C-alpha cells in the first residue's frame, strides 16, 4: 500500500510538472528528470516521434548530456529495444545484459551499454497515435514490477497529452510569428510608393522571420535586388509567382538547415513579395507613362518652336534645305529617346549619342568628307541631352555644308565642365560673325538649356566650342 501511495504521489508530481509549461523541449526535459526520481533509475531517455521522417529522435536525457552529442541518435519504429516498444505500442523490459539483446541498437555517442536493465514504453495518445517513446535504465540488474510498468505507462500517457498541447502551442506561436512577419510586409508595402523601399522591407523581414544570415530578391531579369547579410551553408529559393508566371525568386541563407515550417513561411512571404513587386512595377509603369507623355509633349513643342522660328526668318532659304534641316532636328531628338530606351535609365551617354548623330548626318549631307572624332564618356540627363543633340546637329551640319574636307569632333571634360567642339579646315568665318536661324537656335539652347557658352573661332578653318557645367 505504501508503494502504491508513493507511485500515485510521484505520478501526480510528474503530471503537475509536465503540465506546468507549454514549451515542448521543457516538457521532455522535465519528463527525463522526474521519471528517474519516481522509479529510482540511473538514466532516462526520451524520444520524440518525427512523423515526416518516420523516426524517433532523442530529445531529452537524464544521465547523459545531450548537448555534447555531435549527432542526435535517431531510429525508426521497430529498431532497437525502444523502437520495438514504439512499434508494438507495448512495454519491453529486460532485467539484465540489455546490450546483448539482438534488438539492441548501438549509438557511438550514447553509452547505453553501461546499463544492465531497460524498461521501454511507447508514448501514445488515447487513439493510439504515436508521439514518441521513453526508457529508463539501471546499471545493476533489475526486474521492474507490474506496478512500476503501469506507473511508467501512465506517465507516458500523460506526457503524450502534454506533447500534443505543446505542439499545438508551438504551432500557434509559429502562426503568430508568421502573421507578424506578413503584417510588417503588408504595412511596408502599403505605406511606400517606391518599389525599392518595399523590396528592402521584404528582404529584411525575411531575414528576421527565418533567422537567416542573408536574403535577397532575384528579379526575372536576373538582377539581384536588395541583397542583405551574407551567404551561408544552407540556402532555400522560393519562386515569386504572379498570375501563373514566375517574376522572380526570394532567397534566404543561414548556417543551419531550413525546416518544412521555414519553407512554408518563406512561401507565404513570397506571395506577399510577388504582390508588392507587381504593385510597385504597376506604379512605376504609370509614372513612366506620365513621364513619357510629358517628354513627348515638350519635344513636340520644341519642334513646333523651331519650325516657327525658321518660318519667321528673314533669310532666303531653299525650302528643300529648310525641310532637311527640320528632319535632322527631329532625328536628333529621336536619337536621345532611342538611347534612353536602350539604357532604361534617366541618363544618356553623350559619346554614343554624338557618334550616332555623326553617322546619320555624314550619310545625309557629308558628301564624302573625312569626319573623325575623339569622345570621352560623359553622362547627361535626358532633357539636357536633347538640347545638346540639337546643338550638335546644327553645328555639325553647318561644318559639313560650309566647311572644308576634314571635320573633327571632340567631347571631353575640362575643370568640371563638358566641352563639345566641332572644327573644320575650311576658309573660316571671315570678318563678320555668322548669323542665321541655325545659329540662333544653337545660341538659345546653349544659353537657356545647357547654361553654357558658345565660342566661334576662325584660324585656318572654323572651330565651334560649346562649354557647359557637367
> Domain of 97: which CATH number?
3.30.450.40
pLDDT given for residue 93 in this prediction? 94
303 falls within a domain = no
- Express each pLDDT in 329-380 by its tens digit: 666 666 665 655 555 556 778 888 888 888 877 776 656 788 888 899 888 8
383 falls within a domain = yes
pLDDT given for residue 365 in this prediction? 63
Do β-strands 117-124 and 130-138 pair in parallel, antiparallel, or remain unpaired?
antiparallel
CATH number, domain containing residue 360 = 3.30.565.10
- For the chain, what's the residue count? 470
Separation in Å, CA 8 to CA 135, 207, 352: 19, 49, 90
φ/ψ of 457, rounded to 5, equals -125, 145
Q: Let me know: does 438 contact 397? Beta carbons within 8 Å.
A: yes
pLDDT given for residue 288 in this prediction? 47
**DSSP labels, 232-259:** -SEEEEEEEEETTEEEEEEEEEESSPPP
**Same-domain status, 12 and 159:** yes
In the listed set 154, 170, 186, which residue is the last one of a domain according to the structure?
A: 170
**DSSP labels, 304-370:** HHHHHHHHH--S---HHHHHHHHHHHHHHHHHHHHHHHHHTSSEEEHHHHHHHHHHHHHHHH-TT-E
pLDDT given for residue 189 in this prediction? 58
Do β-strands 74-75 and 55-62 pair in parallel, antiparallel, or remain unpaired?
antiparallel
pLDDT given for residue 419 in this prediction? 92
**Same-domain status, 336 and 455:** yes
Residues 6+ away with beta carbon under 8 Å from 268: 178, 182
pLDDT given for residue 88 in this prediction? 93
- Express each pLDDT in 106-157 by its tens digit: 887 777 778 899 999 999 988 888 999 999 999 999 999 888 898 888 888 8
End-to-end, the C-alpha distance of the chain in Å comes to 100
The set of cell numbers assigned to 358 is 555623326
The set of cell numbers assigned to 307 is 519650325
Separation in Å, CA 177 to CA 96, 109, 205, 264, 269: 49, 35, 11, 12, 12
Residue-wise burial string across 208-237, b where 16 or more C-beta atoms lie within 10 A, e elsewhere: ebbebbbbbbbeeeeeebbebbeeeeeebe
In the listed set 259, 278, 297, which residue is the last one of a domain according to the structure?
A: 278
Angle between helices 319-343 and 382-402 (to 10 degrees): 140
Q: Let me know: does 181 contact 205? Beta carbons within 8 Å.
A: yes
pLDDT given for residue 77 in this prediction? 94
- Residue 153 to residue 160: CA distance in whole angstroms: 10
- Residue 356 to residue 337: CA distance in whole angstroms: 12
305 falls within a domain = no
**Same-domain status, 146 and 9:** yes
* Structural domains of the chain, count: 3
In the listed set 142, 170, 198, which residue is the last one of a domain according to the structure?
A: 170
SS3 104: coil
| Residue 386 exposure: Cα atoms within 13 Å on the Cβ side | 19
pLDDT given for residue 336 in this prediction? 62
**Same-domain status, 269 and 133:** no
Residues 6+ away with beta carbon under 8 Å from 469: 416, 417, 418, 451, 452
106 falls within a domain = yes
- Residue 201 to residue 185: CA distance in whole angstroms: 6
369 falls within a domain = yes
**Same-domain status, 126 and 183:** no
Mark the ranges of the chain whose per-residue pLDDT is less than 70: 1-3, 6, 17-18, 63-70, 174, 177-179, 181-182, 184-196, 226, 279-346, 364-367, 429-438
**Same-domain status, 153 and 181:** no
- Residue 178 to residue 27: CA distance in whole angstroms: 24
The set of cell numbers assigned to 78 is 521497430
Domain that holds residue 39: 2-170
Residues 6+ away with beta carbon under 8 Å from 348: 336, 339, 340, 379, 380, 381, 382, 385
pLDDT given for residue 82 in this prediction? 93
Separation in Å, CA 424 to CA 337, 373, 411, 421, 454: 29, 12, 15, 10, 16
**Same-domain status, 161 and 184:** no
**Same-domain status, 195 and 166:** no
Q: Let me know: does 130 contact 89? Beta carbons within 8 Å.
A: yes
Amino acid at each position: 500500500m505504501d508503494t502504491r501511495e508513493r507511485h500515485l504521489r510521484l505520478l501526480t508530481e510528474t503530471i503537475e510538472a509536465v503540465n506546468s509549461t507549454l514549451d515542448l523541449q521543457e516538457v521532455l526535459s522535465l519528463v527525463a528528470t522526474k521519471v528517474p526520481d519516481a522509479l529510482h533509475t540511473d538514466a532516462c531517455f526520451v524520444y520524440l516521434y518525427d512523423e515526416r521522417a518516420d523516426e524517433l529522435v532523442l530529445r531529452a536525457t537524464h544521465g547523459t548530456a545531450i548537448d555534447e552529442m555531435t549527432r542526435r541518435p535517431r531510429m525508426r519504429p521497430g529498431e532497437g529495444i525502444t523502437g520495438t516498444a514504439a512499434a508494438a505500442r507495448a512495454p519491453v523490459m529486460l532485467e539484465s545484459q540489455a546490450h546483448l539483446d539482438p534488438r539492441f541498437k548501438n549509438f557511438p555517442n550514447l553509452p547505453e551499454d553501461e546499463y544492465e536493465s531497460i524498461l521501454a514504453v511507447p508514448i501514445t495518445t488515447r487513439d493510439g497515435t504515436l508521439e514518441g517513446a521513453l526508457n529508463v535504465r539501471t546499471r545493476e540488474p533489475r526486474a521492474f514490477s507490474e506496478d512500476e510498468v503501469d506507473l511508467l505507462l501512465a506517465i507516458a500517457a500523460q506526457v503524450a497529452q502534454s506533447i500534443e498541447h505543446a505542439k499545438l502551442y508551438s504551432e500557434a506561436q509559429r502562426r503568430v510569428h508568421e502573421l507578424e512577419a506578413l503584417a510588417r510586409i503588408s504595412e511596408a508595402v502599403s505605406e511606400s510608393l517606391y518599389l525599392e523601399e518595399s523590396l528592402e522591407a521584404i528582404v529584411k523581414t525575411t531575414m528576421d522571420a527565418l533567422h537567416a544570415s542573408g536574403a535577397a530578391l532575384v528579379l526575372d531579369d536576373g538582377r539581384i535586388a536588395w541583397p542583405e547579410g551574407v551567404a551561408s551553408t544552407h540556402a532555400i529559393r522560393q519562386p515569386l509567382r504572379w498570375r501563373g508566371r514566375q517574376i522572380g525568386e526570394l532567397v534566404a541563407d543561414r548556417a543551419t538547415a531550413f525546416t518544412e515550417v521555414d519553407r512554408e513561411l518563406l512561401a507565404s512571404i513570397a506571395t506577399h513579395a510577388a504582390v508588392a513587386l507587381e504593385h510597385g512595377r504597376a506604379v512605376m509603369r504609370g509614372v513612366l507613362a506620365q513621364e513619357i507623355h510629358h517628354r513627348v509633349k515638350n519635344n513636340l513643342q520644341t519642334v513646333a518652336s523651331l519650325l516657327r522660328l525658321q518660318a519667321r526668318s528673314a533669310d532666303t532659304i531653299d525650302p528643300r534645305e529648310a525641310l532637311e534641316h527640320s528632319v535632322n532636328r527631329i532625328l536628333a531628338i529621336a536619337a536621345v529617346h532611342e538611347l534612353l530606351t536602350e539604357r532604361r535609365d534617366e541618363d544618356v551617354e553623350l559619346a554614343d549619342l554624338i557618334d550616332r548623330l555623326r553617322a546619320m548626318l555624314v550619310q545625309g549631307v557629308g558628301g564624302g568628307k573625312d569626319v573623325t572624332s575623339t569622345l570621352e564618356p560623359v553622362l547627361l540627363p535626358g532633357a539636357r541631352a536633347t538640347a545638346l543633340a540639337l546643338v550638335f546637329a546644327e553645328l555639325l551640319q553647318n561644318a559639313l555644308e560650309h566647311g572644308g574636307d576634314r571635320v573633327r569632333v571632340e567631347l571631353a571634360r575640362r575643370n568640371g565642365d563638358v566641352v563639345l567642339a566641332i572644327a573644320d579646315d575650311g576658309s573660316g568665318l571671315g570678318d563678320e560673325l555668322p548669323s542665321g536661324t541655325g545659329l540662333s537656335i544653337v545660341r538659345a539652347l546653349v544659353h537657356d538649356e545647357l547654361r553654357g557658352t558658345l565660342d566661334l573661332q576662325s584660324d585656318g578653318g572654323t572651330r565651334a566650342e560649346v562649354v557647359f557645367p557637367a
